[in-house]
Chain A
């Protein structure tokens, strides 16, 4: 249902924009970006993926789905104050191919040179790179730092934002507030998918001066849906007949619930780039009220050096789940069916931890204007119950130390 509403809203908006366009002869332009990438790893016990919206990953058999994508954007100017943008990205992600890959479709009003008001569908501006994760040409790495960005399945939201710019010192301060609603389809395990819906609001302060960029942000996301794949398990645990043999059962079902629970994203970031040296670091704390998605602290630091057309870089990343495991009690009557239920509850509540560190080395070579070639080696250390960002088999132990190799070509046009 949600999909239909979004598509209808976008269509209406575009129809409106077109009608407006016919009156005032807009300046239309078509632009695009893309990446052709291949990656693989040295292990088959889990699969590497770019982020948790990807339901397919790569192992020692290489694949091109992880990073390859093609984005198309149409911009229309209606006079000096009005502008519309639509961006759609072809990528192999979970969910409806048309609706879920439509990342931008908004109308912008700029009543003054320093004030932007936008309504429609917009990128999710929660971390430094989150709005342009798909545009490989815009950053040095083969993909955004894994520990920081792989846990973020939300690419866009439908709503509104207001951005005001201020001249502060030698630089420019941007204050942006945004709010709306986001509908996402995410993979569950290797074969299933589930709907997620959030009501969200956020604020961002960004300061740009010379070689420096600083950003601080906060976002609040309230879950509107239960995870559909957990329904059967929750219903079974909520069965009143269970109360006598397993008093904790309904409490566990409550812990599994996502609805009306919130996730708070706080982050801070800093970049330096003087044309030769570049450095970028971000830190975040995601506080989650959900037991199926744990609070997590993450950070990365990258240093790079440009020599002519080549940029060499290194990247260190870390992400750690902070809450303790949920204690899942044993039923009073150890009947096999109940023990099976207990194990399923334990798996649902205690297999979503992130305990990951990595070091990467890579290079970007700007071959010709608007085309670059990249390659990157990453070594990941994964702790016990710490590989939630990866695709794992339902049973069996997964590796705790793996290498991922990638090559790619980014372009814009």
Chain B
């Protein structure tokens, strides 16, 4: 009952949702990416960045993952998973690799010129380039 009341209370408060940043390597020569470009890369429809490099998209665990896809595509994460189930189990493409945290994503993005990741806005620093802001 107590949990229920807390849940109800939280539901009434305007959700404080983190802003999410899509980030890339500092030297990747890309000013920014459109939501459509990020979508194509994260849904396996395109594998090449505007600079000609192979994209290495990186996922994170939910709840950040669920929020990222909902902001990016307007669809619940279950639908994204169902989409990927169709794509990967028919041998067409593999979903992005998952890393456990903002730090791990930042680290990989620093090391790979083709890497694309998403992180909480609060985690960003000058070592990566911001490509798209989702809120």
Chain A residues engaging chain B, CB cutoff 8 angstroms: 29, 31, 33, 71, 73, 75, 77, 80, 85, 87, 104, 106, 108, 113, 116, 118, 122-123, 131-132, 134-135, 137-139, 172, 273, 275, 306, 309, 366, 369-370, 372, 412
A113/B46 in contact, CB under 8 A: yes
A44 to B22, CA, bound (A): 58
B86/A135 in contact, CB under 8 A: yes
Residues of A within 8 A of B89 (CB): 31, 33, 71, 73, 87, 132, 134-135, 138
Residues of B within 8 A of A31 (CB): 88-89
What's the minimum C-beta distance from B1 to chain A, rounded to whole angstroms? 22
28 examples of A-B residue contacts, CB within 8 angstroms: A31-B88, A31-B89, A71-B89, A73-B89, A75-B88, A77-B94, A80-B47, A80-B54, A85-B91, A87-B91, A104-B91, A106-B91, A113-B46, A113-B47, A123-B90, A132-B90, A135-B85, A135-B89, A137-B82, A138-B86, A139-B82, A275-B75, A366-B76, A369-B77, A369-B78, A370-B81, A372-B78, A412-B85
Q: Per-residue 0/1 for B38-68: is the Cβ within 8 Å of any A Cβ (1 yes, 0 no)?
A: 0000000111100000100000001000100
A178 to B90, CA, bound (A): 14
Known A-B contacts: A123-B90, A132-B90. Give 4 more (CB < 8 A): A31-B89, A73-B89, A113-B48, A131-B90
**Total contacts A-B at CB 8 Å:** 65
Residues of B within 8 A of A131 (CB): 90
B79 within 8 A of A: yes
B78/A29 in contact, CB under 8 A: no
Residues of B within 8 A of A80 (CB): 47, 54
Of chain B, the residue at the smallest CB distance from A120 is B91
What's the minimum C-beta distance from B66 to chain A, rounded to whole angstroms? 7
Could you say which interface size class chain B belongs to?
20 to 34
Chain B residues engaging chain A, CB cutoff 8 angstroms: 45-48, 54, 62, 66, 74-79, 81-83, 85-86, 88-92, 94
- A122 with B48, Cβ < 8 A, contacts A309-B78, A369-B66, A412-B85 known: no
Residues of B within 8 A of A118 (CB): 91
What's the minimum C-beta distance from B108 to chain A, rounded to whole angstroms? 14
A27 to B79, CA, bound (A): 26
By Cβ-Cβ distance, the 8 closest A-B pairs, closest first, are A366-B78, A138-B85, A138-B86, A85-B91, A131-B90, A275-B75, A135-B89, A137-B85
A266 to B92, CA, bound (A): 23
